[in-house]
Structure 1
Amino acid sequence: MKKLLSLLALGLALSFGTAAQAQDAAATCAAQSAEKKLAGAAKTSFEKKCVADQQAAAEANANAVCEKSAADKKLAGAAKTSHVKKCLADQQAAPAKK
């Protein structure tokens, strides 16, 4: 039960949407660049890399959730691939429905 609640919480956290994540990532990265007192090209470069890194981490996290779901259902081969693909598509589409 605890495992299920953890997965549900993680799924909910991921379902807030890529647009919201991008805005949050941009705000976080802007704050970090301000703390580092960056300006000009250094600031732009830092923020661009920071946002890309955060988006990559979010995608990896979403993939891990879907892989875990497939493992919990004991799927293998084409069934696993199909499940993971659909799971990732559902997670990306969920924010658009809100």
Structure 2
Amino acid sequence: MNKLLAFLVSTTFAACAFAADPATAPAPAKSAQQTKMTTCNKEATGKKGDDRKAFMKECLSGNPKVSPAQQAQRDRMKSCNADASAMKGEERKKFMKTCLSKK
């Protein structure tokens, strides 16, 4: 009887030890920062030294480089919004459409 009891106790402890094994536990989901770091590291392959450092700083900051065309569109949008601040409804829609389509 004592041997049976000792066997049951030892198997219970062994089962608990295996259940708590961190190697078999599922990995927690990556945070947004970890995902961004992985992506930036892949894009930075081939870069070294100060070039890599500058690239990683820009990539991880979340401020992607804006092309001149994108910046021009943003500036045009700001200008048109400022001009249309007093307008509402259909009048504003028509004005914004014509203002933004001008080059």
Which category describes the TM-score, using the shorter chain as reference length?
0.3 to 0.5
By relative contact order (CA 8 Å, sep 6+), the higher-ranking structure is: 1
Q: Whose helix proportion is higher, 1 or 2?
A: 1
Q: TM-score, normalised by structure 1?
A: 0.35
Q: Give the structure with higher Rg (CA).
A: 2
Q: TM-score, normalised by structure 2?
A: 0.33
